[in-house]
Amino acid sequence: MSMFCYQCQEAAKNEGCTVAGTCGKAASTANLQDLLVDALRGLSVWQEMARELGIVKEGVGHLIAEGLFVTVTNTSFDDEQVTSYIKKAMALRDELREEVSGPWTAKHGRPADQGLPLAALWTGDESQFADRAAEVSVLSTANEDVRSLRELLVYGLKGVAAYAHHAAMLGHESDEIYGFLSEGLASTTREHTVDEMVALVLKAGEVAVTTMALLDTANTSAYGHPEVTEVNLGVRGNPGILISGHDLKDLEDLLEQTVGTGVDVYTHGEMLPANYYPVFKKHDHLVGNYGGAWYDQQGDFEAFGGPILMSTNCLVPVKDAYRSRIYTTGAVGYPGLTHIADRPAGGRKDFSALVAQAKGCPPPKELESGTLVGGFAHNQVLALADKVVDAVKSGAIKRFIVMAGCDGRQKSREYFTDVAKELPADTVILTAGCAKFRYNKLPLGDIGGIPRVLDAGQCNDSYSLAVVALKLKEVFELEDINELPISFDIAWYEQKAVAVLLALLHLGVKGIRLGPTLPAFLSPNVVQVLVDNFDIKPTSEPAADVAAMVGS
């Protein structure tokens, strides 16, 4: 096989991609990303030793988070970019090794590199990267169950790293979070019992909650708490720039640089929830949302007609029809595209090239019209708590169904649309992430003025759903979150969804339905551990699942 990758829901045959990624990633890129993870493991080993000695080296945690983010599905397709991160990780590892070796030997009476894994010591040059990548592939761990638990942890760490990186862009960083990223990666170079590995996976869930809370603080302190908002789905007659991905700081920079230019700004995909934030709503040239979920982007981007900025992951292979007007930035990479450099300290990214190009482009082609309502993050829902509680007590709301997570291309994902249609009129859907695009435009109505789809925001705003659930548990004076009238029917695609799943497990949620397939990286024995401990189950037929959830 040319490669092996099974980190996303679209792994070929639900087993693994072996020739090229279903995502469009080339085998060479997938292999280099394996090597990047291994280089970050090596850096993490030395970081753990430095932490023991009380040695602090600036930038290590940030690079580990950013490097992991680069390996998240649909983030980087660019061999040169991934190679540059491997070199950065190895260089920083070697700097840290120099600082640690003397004090370590003095404290322990033995060489610092004695007994360390090869990831912490390997010093090959770029000409040897391909061979080394083959040695550190996912399948290099022979035992299927050990491999499964290690990869479950690594993919959870990738999700945590992505959210930590978003928070860092807004000036919010955490030594605790960075510390666990290095602890978790370093742990995968050592042997552990199954119980120890499961404990690390659950700790990843705990840190995922901490990280999403940090990002929530970062977002709301910068842009205010999301408000219930009607988001425009149509277009205006001005030229426009379309921003997709998740990074709100990039949107802020873009909006500031388009004030008074005659260029409108539209959100796409997971940037839709940006329309709910008070600071962004003050910009009258933020027109609304254009198009649908990430996998529809090829048609959406072609129709848009103006420049497109990919701020984070969720990029798919680029079509020639819009290749000359799509830009990447941050962790995103794609061969041949213009990459917007990181912002200087205290400054903004330079989006002048997009603004100049937009002025020569036609207005966007209208795909749809009307509005949709969102902005039901925890602050807004808790402001409506009395109304919600009264509706539950009166029986007007019989059950909440959490349908958060990711959307994807596969026809099997119509399951989530069918579930939304099948749910009785006395149920409310709580959602976050791009999974909402499967049902957020359905005419599902409301219950006493409470919309039947409450959209909290991006996938990281699944934290809001946890806050709401815990608040309801408190209000109803329940001992266990599983006693609430809430069922979880989660869609997953990539590693941020894995982090969200682990967060829910850490919070003690049981009986989660996960679909449209169980992850290929879960071995049968590991699946059984999750079933035995958390009653995780695969999605089945919509009508049967609805009956089970509503009747439970």
Q: What pLDDT does residue 405 have? A: 93
pLDDT tens-digit map of 119-176: 999 999 999 999 999 999 999 999 999 999 999 999 999 999 999 999 999 999 999 9
Q: What pLDDT does residue 126 have? A: 97
Please provide the average confidence, as pLDDT, over all residues in the chain: 96
Would you say residue 539 has pLDDT above 60?
yes
Q: What is the mean pLDDT of residues 58-81?
A: 98
Structure tokens at 310: 């990919």
pLDDT tens-digit map of 247-291: 999 999 999 999 999 999 999 999 999 999 999 999 999 999 999
Q: What is the mean pLDDT of residues 534-542?
A: 96
**Residues 133, 31 contacting (CB under 8 angstroms):** yes
From 41, 30, 26, 37, select the one nearest 6 (Cα to Cα).
30
Structure tokens at 64: 């580990």
Q: Work out whether the CA dihedral 194, 197, 199, 201 comes out positive or negative.
A: negative
Q: What pLDDT does residue 59 have? A: 96
**Residues 550, 423 contacting (CB under 8 angstroms):** yes
Distance of CA 74 to the CA centre of its chain: 11
Q: What pLDDT does residue 436 have? A: 96
Q: What pLDDT does residue 1 have? A: 87
pLDDT tens-digit map of 373-425: 999 999 999 998 899 999 999 999 999 999 999 999 999 999 999 999 999 99
pLDDT tens-digit map of 342-375: 999 999 999 999 999 999 999 999 999 999 999 9
From 105, 97, 66, select the one nearest 82 (Cα to Cα).
66
Cβ neighbours of residue 35 closer than 8 Å, sequence gap 6 or more: 86, 129, 132, 133, 136
The model's confidence at residue 551, banded by pLDDT at 50, 70 and 90, is confident
Rounded to whole angstroms, the Cα distance separating 546 from 489 reads 10
pLDDT tens-digit map of 457-477: 999 999 999 999 999 999 999
Structure tokens at 523: 């071995």
Would you say residue 111 has pLDDT above 60?
yes
Q: What pLDDT does residue 207 have? A: 98
pLDDT tens-digit map of 188-227: 999 999 999 999 999 999 999 999 999 999 999 999 999 9
The domains of the chain, with CATH numbers, are 12-221 (1.20.1270.20), 229-359 (3.40.50.2030), 378-551 (3.40.50.2030)
Which residues sit opposite 454 in a β-bridge? 430
pLDDT tens-digit map of 3-57: 999 999 999 999 999 999 999 999 999 999 999 999 999 999 999 999 999 999 9
Q: What pLDDT does residue 552 have? A: 53
Residue 56: phi, psi to the nearest 5? Answer: -115, 120
For 342-346, 533-537, 548-552, which range has the lowest pLDDT when averaged over its residues? Answer: 548-552
